[in-house]
Structure 1
Amino acid sequence: TVSNIFKAHAIPVVDADLVARDVLKKGTGGWRKVVAAFGEDILLDNGEVDRPKLGQIVFSDPLKRQLLNRLLAPYISSGIFYEVLKLWMKGYKVIVLDAPLLFEAKIDKWTKPIIVVWVDPETQLRRLMARDRTSVEEAKNRINAQMPLDLKQSKADIVIDNTGSLEDLDESFRKVLAQVTKPLTWSEFGLSRQGAFLAFISVLVGVLICRKTL
């Protein structure tokens, strides 16, 4: 929901889950590694990975989940970087990375500020069951596979409480929007497309001046 609100305000969102789907498509490097590790029993008749079946396997076995994460992490990280780079080259100053496993995948160092959308455990379980149409046990396995929300909250720069109504969420979002769209600091400007272009021009001009001097 929060990602959709960002999109509604013309702020692009890179969805890590969609990137993960892409790296598991038939014939990709990620697909080959996963099939080699888990066997062809996880495949559908068309050769694509049966994601619900794979999910049941890894969310009920921590070791297999770690194996899957280790196999796909390089592909997901490079996929996310590529999507962010494309948007950066288009001149977007704010890009949202929607990544449920931001801390677990150790890609939190790429992002600033870190926003955590918080809900109480009961609401989290109920919403997950409704969204994915899973049983209580499956939903709990998925939740337990992630870092606890309270711990994520302690690591966040901004926390959005999503336990209330859509009106409450919209009010919280507007405050967050003001924070993430405020003018860039000098260090942030240096990492922006405009900053990189200015640095390139400065170096180019410096080289031309040196050549003329010589």
Structure 2
Amino acid sequence: MRVIGLTGGIASGKSTVSNLFKISGVPVIDADLVARQVVEKGTDGLTALVNRFGEAILNTDGTLNRTELGRKMFSDDGGRKEVNDILQPLIRQEITGKMTDYQEQGKPLIVLDIPLLFEMNYESLCDDIIVVAVSVETQIARMEKRNGYTRQEALERIQSQMPLEEKVKRATIVWSNEGTLQDLEQKVHQWLLENFLKK
């Protein structure tokens, strides 16, 4: 089984590539989705967060109040690190468990869609790493249009992440996404054709 890591920067088009893989029938493990699953009601992850931050982070139905957790994380020096320390091992365990399931099913290829792939040291799980790359100006323009952010708000979000050029240096495959959706579709389909759809 070949494991492809997929990452990029905010508004670079990583989610679009992830969806194109899914449409093509490639199993995709979405780290953002896993991160939500490990804090669902009744999970060890949610219990650990409540033990640390108190029941104020819960909604009346016992589910996680993400807004309140975010407030606690950022009002408390080290709060963000503590949340990561609690949740990242659970997320990694879930991801590696899903990888094992796909391996047992005989899947030839899976994609790990992980925004913080480098930051959280997932490279060792990957045979190749695809980075979807665009210029900072393109990121800003897309966020202004898509999210209604000011230029300053967009820049702040870009600067809170590892620089995209650093991710590009560490990638084995780089797909520029400065063109149209059709251009991006062509890159994905061409790569699949060359690597996995050979007769």
TM-score w.r.t. the length of structure 2 is: 0.78
* Structure 2 match to 1:209: none
Alignment-derived partner of residue 82 in structure 1? 97
Deviation at residue 145 of structure 1 after TM alignment: 3.7
Question: In the aligned structure 1, how far is the partner of 2:69 from the partner of 2:140?
Answer: 21
Q: Give, in angstroms, the shift of residue 111 of structure 1.
A: 0.7
Quick one: structure 1 residues 90 and 45, their matched pair in 2 at CA, closer, same or farther if it must change by over 3 Å?
same
Q: Alpha carbon RMSD of aligned pairs, Å? A: 2.8
Q: Could you tell me which residue of structure 1 aligns to residue 85 of structure 2?
A: 70
Q: Aligned equivalents of 2:21 and 2:84: distance in 1?
A: 28
Greater percentage in strand: 2
Q: How does 1:142-161 map to 2 (within 5 A)?
A: 142-161=157-176
- Answer whether contact 2:56 2:68 (CA < 8 A) is retained: no
Partner SS for 2:29 = strand
One-letter amino acid of the structure 2 residue matched with residue 81 of structure 1: T
User: What do the CA deviations read for 1:73-110 (whole angstroms, capped 9, x no partner)?
Assistant: 11000000111111111110100010001111111110
Q: Give aligned-pair identity as a percent.
A: 42
Question: Structure 1 unaligned runs (5+)?
Answer: 184-214
- 1:108-187 to 2 correspondences below 5 Å: 108-125=123-140, 127=142, 142-178=157-193, 180-181=195-196
Give the corresponding residue for 2:3.
Answer: none
Post-superposition offset of 1:34: 1.4
| Amino acid corresponding to residue 161 of structure 2 in structure 1 | Q
Query: Whose relative contact order is higher, 1 or 2, with alpha carbons under 8 Å and at least 6 apart?
Result: 2
Question: How far apart are the structure 2 equivalents of 1:43 and 1:138?
Answer: 29
Secondary structure class of the residue paired with 1:114: strand
Question: How many residues in Structure 1 have an aligned counterpart in Structure 2?
Answer: 182
The aligned residue for residue 9 of structure 2 is none
Distance 1:59 1:16, change over 3 A: farther
What whole-Å deviation, never above 9, does each CA across 1:152-193 have from its counterpart, x for those lacking one?
11100001112321011112223332454278xxxxxxxxxx
Structure 1 letter corresponding to 2:93? S
Q: Is the 8 A contact 1:7 1:13 kept in 2?
A: yes
Deviation larger for 8-17 or 37-46 = 37-46
Paired residue secondary structure (1:95) = strand
Considering fraction of residues, name the structure with more helix: 1
Q: Structure 2: which 5+ runs fail to align? A: 1-15
Task: Give TM-score scaled by structure 1 length.
Answer: 0.73
Q: Is the 8 A contact 1:59 1:141 kept in 2?
A: no
Which position in structure 2 is the counterpart of 1:193?
A: none
Query: For residues 122 and 68 of structure 1, what CA distance do their matches in structure 2 show?
Result: 32
Q: Which of 1 and 2 has greater Rg?
A: 1
* 2:95 paired with 1:46: no
